């Protein structure tokens, strides 16, 4: 659980991009690491109706050359 609540779009983006950094350090060829981006639809409609946070997180992943997968693809792999 978080020590503090994440309240702003910038804090949400920072949280996920820091997870990308941690995942990169943990991953190796035998043991991939997955970072799940799960934003509740009703919450997104309230605080990010244009999906800007979502887009910025995805862009950050792409900049780091992190492969994006659907939940279905993750399920097939594990």
pLDDT tens, position by position, 17-61: 999 888 888 877 677 777 887 777 787 888 888 989 889 999 999
The domain total for the chain is: 1
Provide the 10 A C-beta neighbour count for residue 33: 14
Residue 24 is part of which domain span? 9-77
In a domain, 1, yes or no: no
What pTM, to 2 d.p., does this model score? 0.72
SS3 of 44-62: the string is HHHHCCCCHHHHHHHHHHH
pLDDT at residue 6, rounded to an integer: 67
In a domain, 2, yes or no: no
pLDDT band at 14 (very low <50, low <70, confident <90, very high): very high
In a domain, 67, yes or no: yes
pLDDT at residue 1, rounded to an integer: 45
């Amino acid at each position: 659980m978080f020590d503090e609540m994440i309240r702003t779009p910038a804090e949400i983006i920072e949280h996920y991009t820091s997870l990308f950094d941690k995942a990169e350090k943990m991953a190796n060829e035998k043991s991939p690491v997955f970072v799940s981006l799960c934003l509740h639809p009703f919450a997104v409609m309230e605080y990010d109706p244009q999906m800007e946070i979502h887009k910025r997180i995805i862009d950050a992943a792409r900049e780091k050359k992190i492969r994006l997968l659907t939940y279905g693809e993750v399920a097939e792999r594990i």
